[in-house]
């Protein structure tokens, strides 16, 4: 099986050009081949502007070769577990620093019980970043008054998220119509990056608990971004004070 290829920013942080060893490192793997990856690459490329802490490193994991078509969450979990084994074998794994993030859509599962079973299995040693029904819901939250105007108004259709054309589901078409952007294009992030704080705020109006997303619309992408803005040193101080 082909190894995951790492795409990581240099550990040079901001204009000071100072080499900084990260205190937290996120390895991210995505269900989709384009939209989610380009979104988080956009976050990493604009980290100072978006308030991502300088002590945090993002490692985007690319699926290539015979694993390029792997998209189901079960396959993503297998790849993440293989990545952990590889890092440990090479002496590059640091339990105190490394975090492993699986970004996937709730509607990857047709049955509620299968979705819940996967969440309970995978969430122990990984961060599960979920959108219900799919990542385009998170993108819609970058639009002013998105919850009331677009999400609640289309709640049932969005939850089912059926294909409405050869290239769109209900959610992706809705985002394209209201934003004028194709979520699979390389340029959509530039149009919405200044609205990430709005998306984080509006996400709190929806379900953020990944188990309850089994039966409701929601997202916890904003939760992950807020974590990336935290100073890892504050967490280390908090943990040490508990002993």
The reply to whether 221 falls in a domain is: yes
The reply to whether 89 falls in a domain is: yes
Q: For a pLDDT cut of 70, what percent of the chain falls above it?
A: 91
The reply to whether 107 falls in a domain is: yes
Q: Does the global pTM surpass 0.85?
A: yes
The reply to whether 214 falls in a domain is: yes
A 10 A CB-CB count for 14 gives 10
Residues in the chain: 243
Question: At 155, is the pLDDT very low, low, confident or very high (cuts 50, 70, 90)?
Answer: very high
Mapped onto helix, strand or coil, the DSSP state of residue 91 is coil
The reply to whether 14 falls in a domain is: yes
The reply to whether 139 falls in a domain is: no
Q: Which domain holds residue 227?
A: 5-133+196-241
Tally of domains in the chain = 1
Please check the confidence at residue 220 and state whether its pLDDT lies above 80: yes
In order of 31, 114, 126, 213, the CA distances from 117 in angstroms are 18, 5, 15, 13
Question: 14 versus 40: which is more confidently predicted?
Answer: 40
* Closest C-alpha to 3, from 62, 46, 57: 62
Please check the confidence at residue 111 and state whether its pLDDT lies above 70: yes
């Amino acid at each position: 099986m082909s190894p995951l290829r790492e795409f990581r920013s240099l550990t040079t942080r901001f204009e000071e050009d100072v080499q900084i060893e990260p205190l937290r490192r996120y390895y991210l793997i995505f269900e989709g081949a384009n939209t989610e990856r380009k979104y988080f690459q956009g976050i990493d490329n604009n980290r100072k502007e978006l308030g991502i802490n300088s002590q945090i490193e993002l490692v985007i994991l690319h699926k290539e070769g015979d694993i390029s078509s792997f998209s189901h969450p079960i396959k993503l979990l297998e790849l993440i577990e293989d990545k952990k084994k590889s890092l440990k074998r090479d002496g590059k794994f640091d339990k105190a620093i490394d975090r492993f993030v699986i970004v996937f859509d709730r509607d990857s599962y047709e049955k509620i019980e299968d979705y819940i079973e996967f969440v309970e299995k995978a969430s122990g040693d990984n961060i599960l970043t979920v959108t219900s029904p799919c990542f385009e819901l998170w993108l819609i939250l970058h639009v002013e008054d998105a919850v009331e105007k677009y999400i609640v108004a289309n709640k049932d259709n969005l939850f089912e998220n059926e294909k409405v054309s050869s290239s769109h589901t209900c959610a992706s078409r809705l985002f394209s119509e209201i934003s004028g952007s194709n979520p699979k294009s390389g340029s959509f992030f530039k149009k919405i990056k200044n609205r990430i704080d709005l998306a984080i705020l509006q996400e709190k109006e929806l379900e953020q608990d990944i188990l309850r997303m089994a039966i409701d619309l929601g997202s916890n992408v904003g939760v992950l971004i807020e974590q990336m803005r935290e100073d890892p040193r504050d967490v280390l101080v908090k943990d040490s004070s508990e002993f």
